[in-house]
Structure 1
């Protein structure tokens, strides 16, 4: 199907109307024109009926006009040249059009926000990794110092009713008593170890407010990791602090 623009259609209507008028004046049928010019009858009919969509390309239409006019003893070349074939054809409704791509304005901003978030996450990840590496290399940066609770030195508290006697270590003293009975009362948390007759009866953490009693047949040793919070009473005597806060001490009580 041929699609002609408006200018071509107007030119073709004027030319074919004049040719039809001359043909009818000379009493010549379209069939005769078709036989003598070798133009298909359907094309001649389409020209005179202005059914231009049934015609071939404009260059062939121009050739039909020239031969048609020559048969009518007219200047076919001059008449055919009145039909321009170089006009750009109208765009067909069935022609393929490339879809236009529309990108909303907010789409680039979304990509920018995503890129910024990824970059920030990457920087924070590197910073966290560097801090973790530094803590692994120097544990003192992340681990708080704790008070040493294991016994460092020992000391013997003499019984208030007996004279002190020397023991194997210079820092310890022992007291001869008739019965060994010890009561501990905690004013704070402390690690405590209690040995009765050389056997460990207790070892662990006593918390503030706890009160414990131990007895022994021959000897009883109390060791505290925080002597300043431990009140000790020997054989129901008045309680006394074992030492100072944070001080580690040993106290031994012997039976006579």
Structure 2
């Protein structure tokens, strides 16, 4: 029996005992699609398990790169990420330092484009046309992907194909298919069917579709057949491994409080 499946009730079970076992075959240079939106729905246990290993030089596709001490920010601080494709990175000071210092390659793209590139990858669509970014450096090229140590641009984005349909211009975007996808769900069953909680649905289902091997951490694991099919957000056909990690810490990205009124 494969070591990843040790302790499972069936030879072909998708259930894995621990997060460390679930990510054990992720090697250096792998491409990772990672779910989450801000600090919501982040597969933190799986990221922490990868950090415990030695694999490095990851190429990451994610809406954002976490914060300095949480989520992908942990892998980033450890110097284990070589390239990031994301739509928002403003909450991570270490990210900015590595990018501007020439240590990290970064492709910034519109958020909707990232979502559709992930969905298209899962649907088997190699590329698509979108109006988002036409007439900007997104389509024309020249965005700094990597800086040199002296602050000059070492690598810039290339121009993309633009075509006109119905008198409107569209830019060609290629889909994303990653070696592994890491997602967090509120509930999953032993066949990999997943239910996401509120804002955690923003990117987790799309990320799960885009992975050749999708690994899901779930707060609650139930037997196959217990979930109402009408309530399943992502069918198990997209999930290869599932691990029960229990309740997740609910973090607040920015806490704002009102000053007490003075008389």
User: TM-score, normalization: structure 2?
Assistant: 0.14
Higher strand share: 2
Which protein has the larger Cα radius of gyration, Structure 1 or Structure 2?
1
Higher helix share: 1
User: TM-score, normalization: structure 1?
Assistant: 0.15
